[in-house]
Amino acid sequence: MTFKTIIEPFKIHSVAPIAMTTEKERNRFIEEAGFNLFSLHSDNVLIDLLTDSGTGAMSRNQWAAIQHGDESYAGSPSWLLFKDAVQNLFPYKHVIPTHQGRAAEKILFTAIGGAGKSIPSNTHFDTTRANIEYSGAEAVDLVIPEGKDPSSLHPFKGNMDLAALEKFILSTGVENIPLVMMTITNNSGGGQPVSLENLKGVSAICKKYSLPFFLDACRFAENAWFIREREAGQSQRDVVEIVREIAGLADGMTMSAKKDPLGNIGGWLALNDDALAEICRNLLILTEGFPTYGGLAGRDLEALAVGLTEVVSHDYLKYRIQSTAYLGNALVKGGMPCVLPIGGHAVYIDAKALLPHIDPLNYPGQSLAIELYKVGGIRGCEIGTVMFGRKPDGSEVPAAMELVRLAIPRRTYTQSHIDYVIEVCLEVVKNAKNLRGYRISHEPAALRHFTSTFSPL
Ligand code: F0G
């Protein structure tokens, strides 16, 4: 007998309180925060879906590993446990630990970026793009057209447009492309997976032109699970086997260990190229630390080594992907338009479709995110014109999509928390036509979504 209820494959071992607030109090908190959800005190948030990064719960085995951590400056046994756990899944020759993903990106693009260079990807995550551009290079997104259509049901909307990639390589010149990247899953494109077939296609093109191929693999286990579930011939394979095959298609990777490695902090850069690894290690010593701990304490390295064994559990991944879909499908059924199919780590609400009466330059995503907080204390994140609308030349243009991301921290909330989120969202749907836009009252010079303040219209 199989039952349809997917239970959390864990029991709660330690708890953190959620402070209850009233709608009246939240109206005051959000006004005091200048209507910017990043400025809220997190104690005043009931269900925090701002990010799945570093916000997950560690297991008792991870906490036990924390106690086992060895803080030797060089050659700690915790480092060897970490390195073995990484290489068990991603057998690259060199592993370079960093304090989080963007530090790995900064080191890699300092080493290989620079003016005149171009780096294609399916879709670069913001910090990846920012680090590439900071080096003087150009970041280019070449996701398939279905990846930009919120309602397309393509099973692998994170795929690279292979024809566009080859055309790009020919027009840009191999000498100007230090490497090709793939983000798995594609966070900026709705948490959508990339197929094994597409990864093989990218790998083959890279081999044909002798270009290195790197993965931004933050959500590698979720991506591998989607491959197992959706791709022909994959359903009987162990996720570990799929992950190793993906790793073998590439020459290296950047990683935020705050996602699938189930850590609260951490990251790494891994690669095969000896000469590039030496340059990167020297940069690591300048900015992160000695190569056997990078930006991390020995105890963090141990917690990550355990997390890497837990995240590839089929029971965990089945629960993870189905519980995100449970939220997304209930919202869609209740009339909340979402990016389809539902992604791995988050549900992306299509605020443009829900609030067509709000002009993109009055920030429908921001308006919806604020309403979710006011009504139910839920904190999501606008991914739309507030985040992407200000161009380097100072002009403001609407973003391609107006989304609100509800990211699900790993192993943190129960089904009743999620049922509450569904109830709040559907209440907001009922009142959608009464929502109003916002204008920005104060805007910083860069990365305005973090610190701008807003006023309601
Ligand atoms: N790459 C991807 C695909 C990411 O989603 C992130 C972080 C990074 C790189 C950078 O890693 O935060 O450890 O420096 N994403 C978080 C998010 C912040 O909320 O999606 P980091």
**pLDDT tens digits for range 104-160:** 999 999 999 999 999 999 999 989 999 999 999 999 999 999 998 888 999 999 999
Distance 177 CA to ligand 1 centre (A): 23
Q: Which of 53, 105, 381 for a ligand 1 pocket mutation test, highest count of atoms within 8 Å of Cβ?
A: 53
Distance CA 249, CA 222 (A): 18
Task: Evaluate if residue 392 carries a pLDDT over 80.
Answer: no
Average pLDDT over residues 388-398: 88
pLDDT recorded at residue 345: 98
Task: Evaluate if residue 334 carries a pLDDT over 80.
Answer: yes
- Report the percentage of the chain scoring pLDDT > 90: 93
For ligand 1, whether the C-beta of 374 sits within 6 Å is no
Domains of the chain: 23-52+313-456 (3.90.1150.10), 60-310 (3.40.640.10)
pLDDT recorded at residue 388: 87
Q: How many residues does the chain have?
A: 457
- Beta-carbon contacts of 76 under 8 Å, excluding residues fewer than 6 positions away, are 70, 292, 293, 298, 301
Q: Which of 218, 269, 450 for a ligand 1 pocket mutation test, highest count of atoms within 8 Å of Cβ?
A: 218
Average pLDDT over residues 434-450: 93
Q: Which of 105, 143, 186, 187 for a ligand 1 pocket mutation test, highest count of atoms within 8 Å of Cβ?
A: 187
pLDDT recorded at residue 143: 97
pLDDT recorded at residue 400: 85
Distance CA 422, CA 336 (A): 10
N- to C-terminal Cα distance for the chain? 55
Distance CA 305, CA 119 (A): 31
For ligand 1, whether the C-beta of 159 sits within 6 Å is no
**Atom 2 in ligand 1: which residue has the minimum CA distance?**
125
Distance 334 CA to ligand 1 centre (A): 30
Nearest atom, ligand 1, residue 51 CA? 19
Strand partners, 338: 349
- pTM metric for this prediction: 0.96
pLDDT digits (tens, 9 = 90+) for 210-263: 999 999 999 999 999 999 999 999 999 999 999 999 999 999 999 999 999 999
How high is the mean pLDDT of the chain? 96
